[in-house]
Amino acid sequence: MTTTAALACVQLPLTAVLYGLLALRGWRYGRRYRAAARRCALMDVDPYHAASGQGWYGDDLQAAAARLVLDGLATVNHRGNLRATAAGAHTGRAAGHPLTDALLAALRRRTAPAALGNLEQRDSELWSARQRFHAQARAAAEALRPAPPRPPGCLAAMAALLLIGWMAFTAAAVVDRVPRGPVEWLAAVAAGLAVVAAGLAVVAQLALLDRYRKVPGPAGGRPDPVEARMAALRPHPALAELAARDPEAERRLRLSRLRVRRSRNRGRPRRRTAPPDRPDPSAGGDQCGGSG
């Protein structure tokens, strides 16, 4: 047997095995991914958790404030300050969700109206309640997320061995005599195609090694089924309902989220006119009652 025929006999089986393992690996991961996607499509995701990380105007805290306004437990004035109503100030009244309860409790702790951005930045109990809620919801979602495929360690080693053998057999074939007869020419053509295919497989394996090291998520361009399920619940229903029922309150909540610093009067509206029992300083005359 000539070197060209030997090259064909070695390269063809190895290339078939390499691509067969790649196809088997992709098929097995695809089956696991489809099963996980079906489970994620049916899982119960909290809308507040789905809204987390969507920016100031659409996240979970904004939705919780919108729900309090819709339920009549809080009001927002023209400056964006939130205040608990008479119903919301009652300690026996619950908002019905851990996030809305935490926000309502933060409003009860304030002696004056406060902006939503200020509550987010300065109320540690509200921050802790948000973290606890999202930690539990995130753990439940991660349990259904499909595991990322393992790095192709054995396949990469096989690709390296195939590369070494390809280089050795190709170097030997170069110095061999010219093929004679249709059988040797057919073997030479098959070996050449196998060399090209094996080279592409080696390049693909090296690229996959770098990809699996940097991107631990689903491979093959597949979307994250957990993220797809949460995206179907956005925007939060409370935000959409408030925008439809009371656009002015929705605009004030946006303004409230931008205010992160506490003003001098701690949210109280500035007094524009003097009260009836106090004389107006802008009026003329002696303000002490009587002239010298």
DSSP state string for 46-101: -HHHHTTTS-TTTSHHHHHHHHHHHTTSEEE-TT-EEEE-HHHH-TT---SSHHHH
pLDDT of residue 64: 93
Confidence of residue 111 (pLDDT cuts 50, 70, 90): confident
Q: Which residues share a beta bridge with 273?
A: none
Confidence of residue 83 (pLDDT cuts 50, 70, 90): very high
Going 250 to 254 to 255 to 256, the CA torsion angle's sign is positive
Bigger pLDDT: 213 or 92?
92
pLDDT of residue 43: 76
CA 233 to chain CA mean position, Å: 13
Q: What is the mean pLDDT of residues 234-239?
A: 88
Q: Per the structure block, which two tokens stand in for 189?
A: 């053509």
Q: Report the C-alpha gap between 164 and 271 in whole angstroms.
A: 85
Pairing mode, strands 81-84 and 74-76: antiparallel
CA 259 to chain CA mean position, Å: 25
Q: Which residues share a beta bridge with 75?
A: 83
Q: Report the C-alpha gap between 85 and 144 in whole angstroms.
A: 40
Residue type, 250: E
**Widest distance between CA atoms in the chain:** 134
Confidence of residue 183 (pLDDT cuts 50, 70, 90): confident
Nearest in space to 131 (alpha carbons), one of 67, 60, 231: 60
Q: Which residues share a beta bridge with 115?
A: 81
pLDDT tens per residue across span 13-62:
766 776 677 777 778 777 888 887 787 777 778 889 888 878 778 889 99
pLDDT of residue 207: 63
Confidence of residue 194 (pLDDT cuts 50, 70, 90): low
pLDDT of residue 185: 72
Q: Which helix (H) or strand (E) holds 5?
A: helix 3-42
Least confident of 73-77, 175-179, 211-215: 211-215
pLDDT of residue 66: 94
Question: What phi, psi does 236 have (nearest 5°)?
Answer: -65, 140
Q: Report the C-alpha gap between 106 and 117 in whole angstroms.
A: 12
Q: What is the dihedral of CA 27, 29, 32, 37, to 10 degrees?
A: -100
Residue 89 has pLDDT above 70, yes or no: yes
